[in-house]
């Protein structure tokens, strides 16, 4: 007789086998490796027993300026594809790093680009690489890198058309690789977060062969549509955003696309949008073929904190009422991990609406409660007391204590005040940010990395004639000491594993450690981080991300660090792993520089680095 645990293990292995049959185990063909964004590879040549011998085997320099380069390459058909900071697409031999071809779209600006997408084509159309950047959607022949001339206007679609026509000078850009569903390219934009009027943030789908628009979902419901009333009497009119700049995921079996929606504009003042502001700060599930709404779940009501939903909603399985069900895991800037039923959008382990501090800004009507998951507990710091001021040195303690006494923190979802400077945890960078989680289907563990970093600011009257009556002064100022370290006590970065069978945290460890602090005896402080983790069948979790410029591997079951190496610069990206034609497994990370982790002394770079066993 097979035990309940045995049946559960067999079911997981059966699901794993189905996933392997549907996709070449040797490849990393899309941003999250699979359409559901699990960031899990079934490869196990590199494992917990031998990862300590992992060594660099090749490097490729793009020649572009370093900095905010958050790219995750893809590997399909023994070719690696990625985009540079100048939005050039590069194809490499994934075994040697040798350049095969490049395409230059002649961009006028540098980009925070996170990657390209692959469409396999059909019986009449060759496979294509899809580049979405700035306000351009470009289709390239995957073999040659030449534009697909039958797509849009000689290979390109102007994405501003129909959504940003009235705001020709406003920011409108695509920063995450589009999702691919059958013959559709599904994407969302990054748009201004202030003032309140500006380009639409609507997600859209385009035909992968012709480039023609197929559907458009209203991120701000229009009159007559459900949710329009959540913006007050006229708050929906010409509303900028909310952005849909994070990566999307697909459930091919159910024909669903899952979209992380950003915060409403203006980011910190919402008197002209009274209500909860759907579908801002929500996981939105749409019919992937038509764009029709299936369900939504809002994680922040009437956002005044810039707590975007930016992470890909990863498709996982979780135990609900004793049985495994398909679910979605969304780790947010607010430091809270939401695990939702994939079919209905209902929280797997429950959510409580808890009272939060009110706003004192004239005209503002902050929402009195916010949704907190019953499980798992918060994976980042949500508040701070005077006893928790940094003590890494007497100088840092004195400086940070002085700063702390000038601000006030009222707990989770502390609003910015007109009367005093406030301290908010997490910062607008998170908590978590755009990278999202990884999921190991064999263990049933979700792996989530996050920062423990605060920010300070206050609301002040805007200058006469400004589009908004109040603005945030210093709202993106980080709560750090003179050397750039957070003013709260370590750990400043953490990596956690959550068991989807119970909703409990299995392990939680500091992520990152600064050499200069270790030399003073301060080890395992953790480091603020941007970028994501991947999991493998070899029992490993790989992650760079940290401001210390290091790349690490952990044992997935226990969180034990098994390997660490110093990169050329900070790897603010998510790594990949794949198997070459030579049978060797590789792990690759992009190292572009500190980017948004400003204050790091590590210089920028432009390098793609591959590691393998000797």
**Mean pLDDT of the 60-79 span:** 95
**Mean pLDDT of the 452-476 span:** 94
**pLDDT in the model for residue 1:** 40
Of 78-92, 423-437, 598-612, least confident by mean pLDDT is 598-612
**pLDDT in the model for residue 594:** 87
Edge-first strand listing for the sheet containing 337-341: 314-320, 323-331, 337-341
Q: Does 402 map to a domain?
A: no
Please report the beta strands in 173-289, taking only residues with DSSP state E, as ranges in sequence order: 179-181, 184-187, 204-207, 213-216, 249-251, 256-260, 282-287
Q: Is the pLDDT of residue 3 over 60?
A: no
Q: How many domains does the chain have?
A: 1
**Mean pLDDT of the 213-228 span:** 98
Q: Is the pLDDT of residue 11 over 90?
A: no
What's the pLDDT tens digit per position in 344-363? 999 999 999 999 999 999 99
What's the pLDDT tens digit per position in 532-584? 999 999 999 999 999 999 999 999 999 999 999 999 999 999 999 999 999 99
**pLDDT in the model for residue 19:** 41
Edge-first strand listing for the sheet containing 89-92: 74-76, 79-83, 89-92, 99-103
**pLDDT in the model for residue 13:** 41
**Mean pLDDT of the 390-406 span:** 98
Report the C-alpha gap between 305 and 308 in whole angstroms: 9
What's the pLDDT tens digit per position in 18-47? 443 346 889 999 999 999 999 999 999 999
**pLDDT in the model for residue 18:** 43
Which percentage of the chain shows pLDDT scores above 90? 91
**Mean pLDDT of the 66-76 span:** 94
Buried b (16+ CB within 10 A) or exposed e, 37-62: bbbbbbbebbbbeebeebeebbebeb
Burial class (CB in 10 A: 0-12, 13-18, 19+), 361: buried
Per-chain mean pLDDT for the chain: 94
Q: Does 137 map to a domain?
A: yes
The neighbouring-strand residues paired with 129 are 118, 140
**pLDDT in the model for residue 23:** 63
What's the pLDDT tens digit per position in 201-217? 999 999 999 999 999 99
- Catalytic residue, from 306, 440, 481, 548: name it: 306
Q: Does 596 map to a domain?
A: no
Q: Residue 86: give its domain's CATH number.
A: 2.40.10.480
Query: Which has more pLDDT, 14 or 567?
Result: 567
Q: Does 153 map to a domain?
A: yes
Q: Is the pLDDT of residue 273 over 70?
A: yes
Q: Is the pLDDT of residue 16 over 70?
A: no
**pLDDT in the model for residue 10:** 45
Buried b (16+ CB within 10 A) or exposed e, 410-421: eebbbbbbeeeb
Residues in the chain: 614
Q: Does 401 map to a domain?
A: no
Host domain of residue 131? 74-113+115-158
Q: Does 105 map to a domain?
A: yes
Q: Is the pLDDT of residue 339 over 50?
A: yes
First to last CA, the chain: 44
Looking at residue 416, the DSSP 8-state letter turns out to be P
Q: Does 344 map to a domain?
A: no
Q: Is the pLDDT of residue 78 over 80?
A: yes
Q: Is the pLDDT of residue 181 over 70?
A: yes
Catalytic site includes residue 440:
no
Report the C-alpha gap between 357 and 348 in whole angstroms: 27
Q: Does 128 map to a domain?
A: yes
Question: Of all helices (H) and strands (E), which one includes residue 81?
Answer: strand 79-83
Asked if 389 and 401 touch (Cβ cutoff 8 Å), the reply is: yes
Q: Is the pLDDT of residue 81 over 60?
A: yes
pLDDT band, very low/low/confident/very high, at 113 (cuts 50, 70, 90): confident
**Mean pLDDT of the 295-305 span:** 98
């Amino acid at each position: 007789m097979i035990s309940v645990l045995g049946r559960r293990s067999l079911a997981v292995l059966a699901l794993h086998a189905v996933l392997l049959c549907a996709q070449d185990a040797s490849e990393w063909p899309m941003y999250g490796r699979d359409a559901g964004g699990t960031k899990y590879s079934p490869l196990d040549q590199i494992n917990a027993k031998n990862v300590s011998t992992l060594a660099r085997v090749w490097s490729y320099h793009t020649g572009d300026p370093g900095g905010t380069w958050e790219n995750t390459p893809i590997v399909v058909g023994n070719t690696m594809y990625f985009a540079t900071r100048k939005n050039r697409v590069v194809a490499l031999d994934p075994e040697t790093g040798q350049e095969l071809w490049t395409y230059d779209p002649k961009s006028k600006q540098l980009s925070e680009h996170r990657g390209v997408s692959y469409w396999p084509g059909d019986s009449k159309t060759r496979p294509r690489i899809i580049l979405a950047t700035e306000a351009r959607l470009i289709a390239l022949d995957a073999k040659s890198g030449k534009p697909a001339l039958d797509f849009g206007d000689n290979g390109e679609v102007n994405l501003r058309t129909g959504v940003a026509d009235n705001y020709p000078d406003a920011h409108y850009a695509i920063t995450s690789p589009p999702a691919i569903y059958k013959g559709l390219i599904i994407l969302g934009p990054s748009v201004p977060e202030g003032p309140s009027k500006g380009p639409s943030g609507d997600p859209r789908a385009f035909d992968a062969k012709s480039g023609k628009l197929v559907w458009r979902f209203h991120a701000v419901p229009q009159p007559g549509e459900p949710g329009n009333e959540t913006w007050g009497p006229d708050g929906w009119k010409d509303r900028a955003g909310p952005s849909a700049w994070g990566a999307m995921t697909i459930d091919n079996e159910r024909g669903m696309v899952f979209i992380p929606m950003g915060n409403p504009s203006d980011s910190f003042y919402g008197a002209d949008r009274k209500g909860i502001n759907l579908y801002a700060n929500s996981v939105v599930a749409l019919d992937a073929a038509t764009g029709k709404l299936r369900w939504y779940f809002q994680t922040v009501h009437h956002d005044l904190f810039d707590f975007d939903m930016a992470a890909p909603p990863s498709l996982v399985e979780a135990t609900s009422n004793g049985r495994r069900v398909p679910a979605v895991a969304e780790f947010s800037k607010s430091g809270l991990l939401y695990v939702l039923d994939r079919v209905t959008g209902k929280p797997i382990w429950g959510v409580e609406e808890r009272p939060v501090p009110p706003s004192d800004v004239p005209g503002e009507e902050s929402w009195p409660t916010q949704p907190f998951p019953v499980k798992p507990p918060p994976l980042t710091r949500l508040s701070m007391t005077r006893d928790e001021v940094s003590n890494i040195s007497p100088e840092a303690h004195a400086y940070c204590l002085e700063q702390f006494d000038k601000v006030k923190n009222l707990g989770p979802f502390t609003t910015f005040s007109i009367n005093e400077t406030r301290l908010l945890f997490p910062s607008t960078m998170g908590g978590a940010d755009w990278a999202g989680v990884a999921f190991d289907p064999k263990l049933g563990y979700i792996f989530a990395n996050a920062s423990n970093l605060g920010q300070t600011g206050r609301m002040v009257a805007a200058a006469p004639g400004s589009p908004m009556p109040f603005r945030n002064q210093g709202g993106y100022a980080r709560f750090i000491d003179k050397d750039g370290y957070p003013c709260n006590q370590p750990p400043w970065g953490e990596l956690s594993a959550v068991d989807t069978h119970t909703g409990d945290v299995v392990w939680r460890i500091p992520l990152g450690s600064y050499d200069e602090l270790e030399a003073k005896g301060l080890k395992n402080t953790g480091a603020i981080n941007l970028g994501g983790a991947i999991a493998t069948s070899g029992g490993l979790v790989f992650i760079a991300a940290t401001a210390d410029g290091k790349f690490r591997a952990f044992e997935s079951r226990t969180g034990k660090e098994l390997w660490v190496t110093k990169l050329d610069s900070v790897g603010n990206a998510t790594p990949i792993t794949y198997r070459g034609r030579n049978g060797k497994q590789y792990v690759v990370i992009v190292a572009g520089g500190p980017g948004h982790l400003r204050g790091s002394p590590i210089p920028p770079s432009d390098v793609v680095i591959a590691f393998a066993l000797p």
